Chains A and B, each alone.
Chain A
Amino acid sequence: MKRLGAGSRHRIGLTLNGREAGGWAEPRMLLSDFLRHALGATGTHVGCEHGVCGACTVRLDGAPVRACLTLAVQADGRRVDTVEGLAPEGELNDLQKAFRRHHALQCGFCTPGILMSLDAWLDGRPAPDEGEIRELLSGHLCRCTGYGGIVAAALEAARAARAGDVGEDD
C-alpha cells in the first residue's frame, strides 16, 4: 500500500504528451493544478473545479477525464495527454485546422478541453453523426461560439480522418 502524508510534497512522475515529466505535489493537489503550475503545461484550463464545464479535460491513459476531479497522485506513473501534445511540431493537426476554419473558438478558454475530448473520441469512431457529436460535446460548456462552429469542425475532422483512412487502404 502506498501512503502519502497530508503535509508533505511527494514526487509524481508521469508521461506527459509522450515525454517523461515529474514534479512535487501534496496528496490534495488537483491534476489540473499539477499540470499547470508544477509542470508548466498551462494549455489545460480551469473553469469550475467541480467537473461541469469541461475546460480541464485531458486524456488519462487515453480516456477523456476531468483533471479537476483527479488528484495529481492518481496520475502517478500514468500517461497524460494535453492540448500541447496535439501539435508537437507547431503544425496544427486536422482537428485544430478544422476549428480554425470553422471559427469554432473565440476566447479559446474552453477549446483545449473540447479538443482533448474530440481527440479521444474520434479515435474510436470513424463516422459519427451530428447527434453523437453533440452528445459528446454536451460535456463541455462554451460561452462564446454557440457551438455551431465546434460541431461543424468536429464533423469535418471526422470526415477528413475517414478520407485519410481510405487513402491509406488504397
Chain B
Amino acid sequence: MKPAPFDYLRADDEEEAVAALAEAGDDARLLAGGQTLMPMLNMRLVEPAVLIDISRLPGRAGIEDDGTLIEVGAAATQASLEAWPPLSARAPLLARALPLIGHVQTRSRGTVCGSIAFADPSAELSLCLATLGGEVVLRSRAGTRTLPAAAFQTGMLSTACRADEMVAAVRFPAAEPGAGYAFTEFARRHGDFAIVAVAAIAQENGIRIGVGGACERPVVQDWPPLAGSALDDALDALAWSLDAADDHHASARYRRELVRGLGKRAVQAAQETRP
C-alpha cells in the first residue's frame, strides 16, 4: 500500500502553486493536510504525476476576522482554527463542529480548506459553510474568484473548482448578534463521518437548518420560527425532500428518521442558546 511515483513540488507562494497547477493540469493534485489525499495515494486510488504541496504556503496559514467574515487560509489546519482564541464567540457553530471532525491526530494536519475542497457529503465543515452561507475563494493563474458555498459544492465529491484552481481560502460569516447556533450529528463511532449531521441557526425572525450526510451535498433551508408540530412537519417535509439513499451503513428511511430527530434536537438547541 504505497503511492505510485510522482514529482513533488513545494510551492513557496501562491503564485508558484497556481503556476504549477496550470502547467500540470489534470495530472496534478494539491497536497495540503493530506488526511484525505494521502490515503487515496497510498491505496493508488489516485496517481497524479505531480503533487504540489501547499501545506506551508506563507500567508495562507492564518485566520483573519474582518468583523463580518472569518477567512481561513489554504494552509490553516483544523487544529489551528479549533485553537483560535475568539472561536467560540465569533464562530460558535464551528466551535461545536470542529471537535467532531476526525481525531486530534488528524485535525493537527487536516486543513479547513482541504476538507471543503474534497466536498464529502458528510463533512462537518462543508455543512457549516453551507449553513452559514459562507464563500470559497478560488485562485488560478488567471486570477481570483469567489463563489458562495451553495455554488461551490455541486455534488458528491464534486465542486465548481476547476483543474487549474486552488481553494485559497474559505470565509465563514461571523456570529450574528441575537442568533443561537447548534450542531449535532450521529456517527457510528466518535470521529467517524456522520451518517446524518444537522446545523441550525435560530434567530428572532427565523430558523436556518442545514443537513449533511443524508444525500450528495448539504441542504439548507430557511424557515419562519417554528415549534411543536409545525416544526415536526417542516422536518418531515425536509427529510422527504432530501432524496436520501440506501447504502451499506444505513437505509434512506433511517437517514430520514435521523433528519427528523436530530433536526428537532438541533433547532431546539439553537433556540435555547440564543442570547
Q: Is A–B contact present in the complex under a CB 8 A cutoff?
A: yes
Interface residues of A (CB under 8 A from B): 1-7, 26-28, 30, 33, 49-51, 54, 57, 60, 63-66, 68-71, 73-74, 117, 121, 135-136, 138-140
CB pair B106 A73 closer than 8 Å: no
B189 close to A (CB within 8 Å): yes
A70 partner, pick from B6, B10, B38, B51, beta carbons under 8 A: B38
B8 close to A (CB within 8 Å): yes
In the bound complex, how far is the Cα of B7 from the Cα of A66, in angstroms?
22
Q: Which residue of A lies closest to B51 (CB)?
A: A27
- Residues of B with C-beta under 8 A to A65: 105, 108-109
Q: Which residue of B lies closest to A72 (CB)?
A: B8
B250 close to A (CB within 8 Å): no
CB pair A138 B191 closer than 8 Å: yes
Interchain Cβ contacts within 8 Å, total number = 111
Q: Which residue of A lies closest to B39 (CB)?
A: A50
A6 partner, pick from B6, B16, B53, B102, beta carbons under 8 A: B6
> Contact mask B1-45 → A, CB, 8 Å, 1/0?
111111111111000100010000000000100110011011100
Q: Which residue of A lies closest to B103 (CB)?
A: A139
CB pair B103 A138 closer than 8 Å: yes
B253 close to A (CB within 8 Å): no
CB pair A69 B7 closer than 8 Å: no
B179 close to A (CB within 8 Å): no
B245 close to A (CB within 8 Å): no
> Contact mask B96-118 → A, CB, 8 Å, 1/0?
00010011111011000000000
CB pair B8 A50 closer than 8 Å: no
In the bound complex, how far is the Cα of B39 from the Cα of A63, in angstroms?
20
- A1-B12, A135-B190 are known contacts. Are A66 and B109 too (CB-CB below 8 A)? yes
- A54-B105, A138-B189 are known contacts. Are A69 and B6 too (CB-CB below 8 A)? no
- Residues of A with C-beta under 8 A to B53: 71, 73-74
CB pair B16 A1 closer than 8 Å: yes
CB pair B9 A3 closer than 8 Å: yes
CB pair A27 B7 closer than 8 Å: yes
Nearest Cβ on chain A to B39's Cβ, whole angstroms: 4
Nearest Cβ on chain A to B130's Cβ, whole angstroms: 25
CB pair A4 B8 closer than 8 Å: yes
